[in-house]
Structure 1
Amino acid sequence: MASSTLTSSSTPPADPGTQKRPRPRGPKRTSDSLMGILAKIVLLGFVDAIAVFVMFQLVASGEWLILAISVIVTAAINWIYLRRDGLPAKYLAPGVFFLLLFQVFVMVFSTYIAFTNYGDGHNSSKADAIASIQLSAQERVPNSPQYPASVVEKGGDLYLLVTAPDGAVKLGGNDQPLQDATATATGPTGAATAVDGYTTLDFAELLQRQQQIADLKVPISDNPEDGSLRTADGSTAYVYKPKLSYDAAADTFTDTTTGTVYHDSGEGTFAAADGKELATGWKINVGLDNFTRAFTDPNLQGPLLQVVLWTFAFALLSVASTFALGLFLAIVFNRADLRGKKIYRVLMILPYAFPAFLSGLVWSGLLNPEFGFINNALLGGADIPWLTDPVLAKVSVLVVNLWLGYPYMFLVCTGALQSLPEDVEEAARMDGAGAWRIFRAIKLPLLLVSLAPLLISSFAFNFNNFNVIYMLTGGGPRFDGTTFDVGGTDILITMVYKIAFGAGTGRDYGLASALAIIIFIIVAVVSALSFRQTKSLEEINR
């Protein structure tokens, strides 16, 4: 017993450094709640249902690349949200997805369009262009048989229900060639007048929708060379065939009335030997032609140069004027002994509370030369062309943009002033510095360090300030000597909008995309240089 006690007592105590310490345990993993699982199933089911629907449409249209991307994205979404781990990915996935969809994809697609001739008359494939030419260039076949017809409607679309000379009843629409149908009612002559699932238009409805009926062209078959049926009165249809005959072997169109032959010009159109082109073309890659055209086309070169210069002037003057007024008001209403400054500050930011496009429309009415409030009420009926004179229109745009922009600068300058150290200003006063010297040598440099990035972003915003230009002047007054609808107050973004969405020369998405890329490059270069200057400003004020 003693030996045992001795042995146990002589055993050296264990070194605390060698003892195993209990492992710190992280938070216990908890399983998802029942409501969370149900919400996940419902949301994923909704997303998958939409994805499957889209995939079926892509299969039908043969868009295999987009189909593959859709499958990969759908699989990735399910993998991210069905696994237990990967919590950061579950939060980052929506943001990354929408970034890729609304930013990266748009930029990539715009870049692709900039290298094509995509626009009015060049918006589809060559096969579609050939079919469109054959369908549009049609004339009535002399002595063609008459087809007793009735105009029927389904889902808002119009169709022709006709009875062929051999007594067969057929039904077709603009995008649906004639097909056999079973009449449910006939007229006095035995011609079909109604069919199941369609509503027959009465005489009053025919009169109301006369233009739609005149535009109705029903292909006789899938072959455009067979012609189509058209009706002027809704009761009798005639056969129309294309006057331009297409030779697939030679890839040419021949005008059957004049004998003129139109060949593939290599520029997305069919052209004759004298240079005359058919109206409908197709989309092709044109390389750098759109960029070259922007700077070499006499019809565009002059207006583009003036627009670029005015865009820079507008952006710079807008930033300078709004910053100067905003900073002045911020200093005035930042005095500690000023009574009611909260009320004044609220009044100062009221223009910022109204949508810019509505303010532009209101100012457009106020500045109207004929019945505007400014000319009639404030100036006693003066006839001052605020929006139609090239110089006054620019001044009006700058003044209105100053009214819209100074509240933002007032807010940021007020915050920056309140963050400046007071001891520096007090030390300068003790050294005998006046108010102007304190502002110029102390406050302004310190303010520019914090406000320079905001001024750069304000320049980029005004460089693309679409609302105030388009709503106030519409870009006018228009330049002379050009077919483009471009004017003295147009900036690059409004010019791009007009070119893209049709004014004067029609829609030209390729040229508009090329100009949009030029805008991006200009803003990126100016911003990069400005931020580099901001870094040097920070080093000076350290």
Structure 2
Amino acid sequence: MTQLQTSTPPHASSPEKTPRLESHARAWAGTGWGFVVKLVLMALVNALGVAIAISAWQAGSWLVLGAIVVLVAVADWVYFSRRTLPLKYLLPGLAFLAVFQIFLLVYTAYVAFTNYGTGHAGSMDQAVEAALIQDERRDPESPDYPLAVVERAGELGFAIVDDGAVRVGAAEEPLTEVPEAAVGDGGAPTEVPGWTVVPRATILTDTELQGRVAELRVPVSDDPEDGSIRTREGSTGAVYTSTLVWDEQAQTLTDSETGTVYAPSDDGRFVAPDGTALPTGWYVGVGFDNFVRAVTDARLAGALGQVTWWTFAFAVLTVLTSFGLGLLFALIYNHPGVRARRVLRTLFILPYAFPAFMSALLWRGMLNAEFGVINDLFFFGADVNWLGDPWLARFAVLWVNLWLSYPYWFLVCTGALQALPADTIEAATIDGAGRWRRFRSIILPLLLVSTAPLAIASFAFNFNNFTIIYMLTEGGPGFPGNSGLGATDILISAIYQISGVAGGAADYGLASALSILVFIVIGVVSILAFRQTRKLEEFQ
């Protein structure tokens, strides 16, 4: 009897191909709603990345363009690859760290080595354009063009009638002819396709609109030397041209009336042979000049020196006083003999529950020399100028910050005291150690093991405690001179003043240099302090 032998049909899958087919089957089986949601989210991420990339390309921000392209490419690779499971969870945090921390730190360091600030806020091309605009005067040969003010999506523009043709433009759009526009009996345009004509009565009754119209300039063409259309009353316009002539090859600006030639200098300005300079410049690299200027500038050096020592004193004294008061209250209200401890603890931590800026504003009113309740209730109406005298203002800042900070340490020390090993303290008591000896040799060292890192963090926070300074004293009272700084300014508030955010001339380069120095100081102090805290761990 012949034994039947089975054979695999030619069309059947071979054994070695089965795992691959099963893998594909599992992959398609796992392509459910989760994959669809991931696909939609990644589509949104890519759309946002493309939008940012286009904006960066149009603005000429090549660094931002390169960074966003890299981030989007990495995100696509991570979330559509099967080999990058850990990165799927780490990438969002790493991206935010790169954008909001590393990029800001690198950009701040870059600005610190430039003269970026008021008068040096753009490129050379922008400085040339600004110089041409600032020097514009009405062209004596320009006729008065019938004009209408037009508006589109909140943007204002001018529509003029030039030899029977209507031309319209805006601040960033040179005049272009509009063939289908309508002209009224008065000669001015009444209908402009794509634009809304602003009624003359509206301009006359709206003061803000009048200012915008008076400041508006519409380029005649892409060439800045052709001038721009401007108007005084909103019904007629004329061509305004600059007396300065830009020579792109020689990189100079020449005053056509006086013949003065302004050439670019190393510090980013157009300077004449007699030393006079045009008001608008551009930012350039200045090396370590900002760091040197912080200690050599006669206007700033003395004030910054006083601000620096006060910053250290403010941070150290705040940590010591708030920790000491918080620990004292924690020791008192941790004693089992004190009644209603929970209620009292709640009352003592109330300052910690209020927003710091609101508390600072409240104290600012209470410390007012004329109508503050502090003088009326506690000093019998005496005229104590708490916020006007330098030393009293510093004391007031320390006092208010103590009031705001001690509840934090009260909570921390209370928890640390309750976590202390009772057998160690009991053994010390049996050995005859008194309360002071137990506190000095056992309780305080054990507390410092857990609270020392928090004290370092508190020092770093108060070193940059902008809120309490700005809301309570705004850095005042001011130092004599024109430094713009005051007796209660700390480095972070001084940087705020120098940056010009609060008004006045801005010096972003110097402000960034000081920010880098503050970062280095806090980093060095934190490293040294953390090394010292390791010695406390040996106590356990």
Q: Which residue of 2 aligns with 1:328?
A: 328
Pairwise CA distance, 1:61: 3.7
Q: Which residue of 1 aligns with 2:176?
A: 179
Q: Are the structure 2 counterparts of residues 441 and 72 from structure 1 closer, same or farther at C-alpha, using a change threshold of 3 Å?
A: same
Letter in structure 2 aligned against 1:202: P
Q: What per-residue deviation string (whole Å, max 9, x for no partner) do you get for residues 253-296 of structure 1?
A: 22334433322121111112333221111111111111111111
Q: Are the structure 2 counterparts of residues 264 and 537 from structure 1 closer, same or farther at C-alpha, using a change threshold of 3 Å?
A: same
Pairwise CA distance, 1:161: 0.7
SS at match of 1:71: helix
Q: What per-residue deviation string (whole Å, max 9, x for no partner) do you get for residues 147-185 of structure 1?
A: 110111111111111012x22211111111111013543
For 2:486 and 2:406, the matched residues in 1 are separated by 26
Q: Which residue of 1 aligns with 2:167?
A: 170
For 1:184 and 1:229, the matched residues in 2 are separated by 19
Letter in structure 2 aligned against 1:200: V
Q: Is the 8 A contact 1:152 1:158 kept in 2?
A: yes
My pick for the range that moved more, 239-248 or 407-416, is 239-248
Q: Once superposed, what is the RMSD of the aligned Cα atoms?
A: 1.8
Pairwise CA distance, 1:445: 1.4
Q: Are the structure 2 counterparts of residues 64 and 458 from structure 1 closer, same or farther at C-alpha, using a change threshold of 3 Å?
A: closer
Correspondence 1:100-179 to 2 at 5 A = 100-164=98-162, 166-179=163-176
Provide the TM-score with structure 2 as the length reference: 0.91
For 2:428 and 2:173, the matched residues in 1 are separated by 85
Q: Which runs of 5+ in 2 are unaligned?
A: 1-25
Q: What per-residue deviation string (whole Å, max 9, x for no partner) do you get for residues 84-125 of structure 1?
A: 343321111111111111111111111111111111221221
Letter in structure 1 aligned against 2:530: F
My pick for the range that moved more, 513-522 or 265-274, is 265-274
Pairwise CA distance, 1:189: 3.9
Correspondence 1:411-422 to 2 at 5 A = 411-422=411-422
1:90 aligns with 2:79: no
Pairwise CA distance, 1:505: 5.1
Q: Is the 8 A contact 1:149 1:193 kept in 2?
A: no
Q: Which residue of 2 aligns with 1:42?
A: 40
For 1:415 and 1:527, the matched residues in 2 are separated by 24
Q: Are the structure 2 counterparts of residues 169 and 504 from structure 1 closer, same or farther at C-alpha, using a change threshold of 3 Å?
A: closer
Q: Is the 8 A contact 2:387 2:473 kept in 1?
A: yes
Q: Which residue of 2 aligns with 1:534?
A: 533
For 1:139 and 1:404, the matched residues in 2 are separated by 58
Correspondence 1:300-315 to 2 at 5 A = 300-315=300-315
For 1:169 and 1:203, the matched residues in 2 are separated by 18
Q: Is the 8 A contact 2:496 2:502 kept in 1?
A: no
For 2:133 and 2:497, the matched residues in 1 are separated by 30
My pick for the range that moved more, 81-90 or 484-493, is 81-90
Q: Which runs of 5+ in 1 are unaligned?
A: 1-28
Q: Which residue of 2 aligns with 1:58?
A: 56
- For these two proteins, the number of residue pairs brought into alignment is 511
Pairwise CA distance, 1:378: 4.2
For 2:458 and 2:319, the matched residues in 1 are separated by 6
SS at match of 2:160: strand
My pick for the range that moved more, 145-154 or 195-204, is 195-204
Q: Which residue of 2 aligns with 1:518?
A: 517
For 1:115 and 1:64, the matched residues in 2 are separated by 19
For 1:361 and 1:179, the matched residues in 2 are separated by 54
Q: Is the 8 A contact 2:476 2:487 kept in 1?
A: yes
Percent identity over the alignment?
A: 52
Letter in structure 2 aligned against 1:144: S
SS at match of 2:299: helix
Pairwise CA distance, 1:525: 1.2
Q: What per-residue deviation string (whole Å, max 9, x for no partner) do you get for residues 297-320 of structure 1?
A: 111100110000000000010000
For 1:190 and 1:104, the matched residues in 2 are separated by 59
Provide the TM-score with structure 1 as the length reference: 0.90
Q: What per-residue deviation string (whole Å, max 9, x for no partner) do you get for residues 45-103 of structure 1?
A: 11111112222333434444433332222121122122334332111111111111111
SS at match of 2:300: helix
For 1:351 and 1:322, the matched residues in 2 are separated by 13
Q: Which residue of 2 aligns with 1:277?
A: 277
Q: Is the 8 A contact 1:161 1:194 kept in 2?
A: no
SS at match of 2:386: coil
1:385 aligns with 2:390: no
For 2:523 and 2:66, the matched residues in 1 are separated by 33
